[in-house]
Amino acid sequence: MLIAWWRRTLPAIATSLPSSRNRNLSLPLPAAPLGPVLSATEDRIKSFLKSGMIDDAVSLLTRAPETSSKPSSVLCFNLVLSSLTRARRFESTVSLYHSMRRSGVPPDVVTLNILINCYCEWGHLDLARQVFDEIRFWSYSPNAISCNTLIKGYCRKGRIFDAFDVLREMREKGPSPDSRTYSILIDLVCSNSNSELGMRLISEMLRIGLVPSEIAYNCVLAGLCSEGKMKLAMMLYTRIVKMGVKGNVVTYTGFINGLCQERRLVEAKLLFDEMLETGFSPNVITYTALIHGLCEYGQLEEAMGMIEEMICRGCSPNVVTYTGVMGGLCKEGMVEEALRLLDVMTQKGVDPNEFTYCTLLNGLCKRGRIEEAIRFFSQMEERGFGDNVVAYNILICGFCKMGNMEEARKLLQDMKRKGTKPDVITYNTLMDGYCKIGKIEAAHDLLSDMERQCLRPNVVSYNTLMAGFCKVGDLERAANLVEEMAGKGVELDVVSYSILSDGMCKAGRYQDTENLLHHMAENEIEPDAMMYSCILNAYCKNMRLQEAKSIIRRMTEKGHQTNIVIHNAILQGFCIKGEIKEAIRVLNEIILNDIAPSTVMVSLFLEYICRFGQLDKFLDLLPVMPDKDGD
């Protein structure tokens, strides 16, 4: 996610609570003044920590009870515990905490907060939660730092529900969430493509009197743009500008990225220019977003120029920048240029990653340069990227498109031998390859092999096999697959229905096709234009012209546009049957729908009228087409 790169460190809240020995109070009382001079032991511990001599501080602290009748203060323990955690010496932190307990020094809220942070940083979130619950055992109440530390730990591990559960407890039991609480959660939800929830959190902050930071606003804005929710992003931006919150590089970058994703490249370029005029310097993410947009539009020369510009401005392209341009070059068939760019990239000290290699491998395979692709894959293996399932899938797809299933199958065996686990895409690609060369049984066997590999076939797996069975006219086995899908909880999609309807139409089972359309309506699945076209063609070929007209009406009602080819098929059908009145009605519908009939269509229509000797009879019924001036 781009947002992960934009994440910034929020200001830490440096708060400490005084210790309390009074276990009868829900909140600790302020500790008594320590006096003008700290003990010699405490002085030495602070000195050790200041000099980075943590082990000496620990040693002095653990020896203190032996050399003095008075145990060290909780403040000293907290200082050392905090230093150990910052040094990521988590086992030593926990060991010292237990030593502190054995010496008779009770922890305070600060101690327990340090321990919560230790377990969170260590990755032991369940232990962190246990310490959090232990705060109340000591007759204290968790403070905002306790809650925020635990929430941050959950967020780092992606445990969204647990993080929001702590927020719920704060609302119900206290302490009240602060700006830090919401900032952590906003960052979490935006990085998980749920920026609308981030907007709701900002609204909640405003409702309870908290002021969201510019970072929080820009995080949500960037998230909305990245998710393609540009209208919501613009609404939020308009709102925060009125509140006096200024946009920054993150704001501009988010909008440029969103506009490029929506293929609004002209607007993205204008916004980029505005960014420069406003005085903001684009960063590598800004440039990369715009460069990728240019590549999507095929404006490769301008994209390469943008790379030169960013280098001149002191902004070095990264692997994502270069990989995007390579993808654009491969898309245009310029694989040689893409390979040369790989050399340029490595010469500049930018190491390619697995996405770079897979992009180039895909480019070679799509151009049919399979032998070069195999050699390139060997280079990937030498550089430690040979176990990449995506790379294997690309090669398998390349061999399948060539009909070379023997080599494709060898690659599957090679994956298993090397310990690279095939995925659903691997098997779907192989099944499709076998179906296309008519080896349906081999494709069906792969379905069983998937399950032996503990992979769950998806709707694409079943659609591939259904298409294969329908292609050879085996509708019974296609129907069996539908039953199997239902038994395994895999729902049919519009492609599934299209495959079945096409098979039924070819077999002349028109009533079953109608039943299938009704079943789709019951399941709220709308046929697409391709499915309607297949049914129409089948109806027209078999002279079921009234049913064809019914399908056209249904298409129009659902907002699908009909074309001249569809109407031509129906018109020709009525002409062949000698139903000239119906043919004229179709011709009228064509004119009313602003579809210009072709010369071939009109000639064919007149030929059939003359053939049946009915030109004089139907001449007055023919539609009058407007001239070029609309008169």
pLDDT, tens digit, for every residue of 547-595?
Answer: 877 777 777 777 776 666 667 777 777 777 777 777 777 777 776 666 6
3-state secondary structure 267-283: HHHHHHHHHHHHCCCCC
pLDDT, one tens digit per residue, over 436-484 is 999 999 999 999 899 888 999 999 999 999 999 998 989 999 989 999 9
The whole-angstrom separation of Cα 604 and Cα 607 is: 5
Query: How many Cα neighbours within 13 Å face the side chain of 154?
Result: 23
Q: Tokens at residue 253, please?
A: 């970058």
Q: Is 133 exposed, middle or buried (CB count within 10 Å of its CB: 0-12, 13-18, 19+)?
A: exposed
In the chain, domain spans? 498-548, 563-631
- Residue-wise pLDDT for 484-496, tens only, equals 998 999 998 989 9
The one-letter amino acid at 206: L
Cβ-contact 19, 74 below 8 angstroms: yes
Helices and strands in the chain, H and E counts: 35, 0
- The predicted pLDDT at position 250 comes to 86
Alpha helices in 405-509 (DSSP H): 405-418, 424-436, 440-452, 459-471, 475-487, 494-506
Examine the pLDDT at 38 and tell me if it is beyond 70: no
Residue 565 tokens read as 């080819």
Assess contact for 308 and 276: CB atoms under 8 A. Answer: no
Give the pLDDT score at 480.
92
Q: What's the pLDDT score for residue 598?
A: 64
Determine the pLDDT at residue 542. Answer: 77
Of the given ranges (100-114, 151-165, 468-482, 610-624), which has the lowest mean pLDDT? 610-624
Which residues have a Cβ under 8 Å from the Cβ of 210 and sit 6 or more positions away? 177, 178, 179, 182
Mean pLDDT of all residues belonging to the chain: 84
In the block, tokens 């905002």 appear at: 144
pLDDT tens digit sequence for 336-354 = 999 999 999 999 999 999 9
> For 211-229, what is the mean pLDDT?
89
**In angstroms, rounded to a whole number, what is the distance separating the alpha carbons of residues 628 and 631?**
8
Closest residue by Cα to residue 302 from 316, 314, 315, 287 = 287
Mean pLDDT of 91-111: 92
- When pLDDT is averaged across residues 247-261 and rounded to a whole number, the result is 89
DSSP per-residue string spanning 62-83 = HHHHHH-SSPPPHHHHHHHHHH
Omega within 30 of 0 (cis) for the link into 175: yes
10 has pLDDT over 60: no
Cα–Cα distances in angstroms (integers) from residue 146 to residues 11, 142, 182, 211, in the given order: 16, 6, 14, 21
CA distance 11 to 15: 12
Q: How confident is the model at residue 37 (pLDDT cuts 50, 70, 90)?
A: very low
Amino acid letter, residue 353? N
Rounded to 5, what percent of the chain is helix, strand, coil?
70, 0, 30
On the question of pLDDT at 121 being above 90, the answer is yes
User: What residue type is assigned to position 266 of the chain?
Assistant: V
| CA torsion through residues 69, 73, 79, 80, sign | positive
pLDDT band for 85, please (50, 70, 90 cuts).
very high
Helices 214-226 and 249-261, axial angle in degrees (round to 10): 10
- Output the pLDDT for position 18: 32
Give me the pLDDT at residue 522, please: 84
How far apart CA 153 and CA 123 sit, in angstroms, is: 8
pLDDT in tens, 52-65: 898 988 888 877 65
Q: Which residue in 520, 512, 469 sits closest to 492, CA to CA? A: 520
One DSSP character per residue, 132-200 reads: HHHHHHTT----HHHHHHHHHHHHHTT-HHHHHHHHHHHHHHSPPP-HHHHHHHHHHHHHTT-HHHHHH
Selection from 530, 566, 565 nearest residue 550 by Cα? 566
pTM of the model: 0.69
Predicted confidence at residue 87, as pLDDT, reads 94
Per-residue pLDDT at 66: 52
Please give the torsion angle defined by the CA atoms of residues 186, 189, 194 and 195, in that order, rounded to the nearest 10 degrees. Answer: 20
Q: Given a cut of 60, is residue 24 above it in pLDDT?
A: no
**Which of 97-106, 236-245, 532-541 ranks highest by mean pLDDT?**
97-106
Q: Do 439 and 405 form a contact (C-beta atoms < 8 A)? A: yes
Q: For 367-410, write each residue's pLDDT tens digit.
A: 999 999 999 999 888 888 888 899 999 999 999 999 999 999 99
Q: What is the DSSP letter of 613?
A: T
Q: Find the range with the poorest average confidence among 138-152, 330-344, 412-426, 613-627.
A: 613-627
C-alpha count within 13 angstroms, C-beta hemisphere, residue 49: 22
CA distance 423 to 428: 9
521 neighbors 487 (Cβ within 8 angstroms): no
pLDDT tens-digit readout, 161-219: 999 999 999 999 999 999 999 999 999 999 888 999 999 999 999 999 999 998 899 89
Q: What is the DSSP letter of 22?
A: -
Q: What is the reported pLDDT for 15?
A: 29
Confirm if 281 and 249 have CB atoms less than 8 A apart: yes
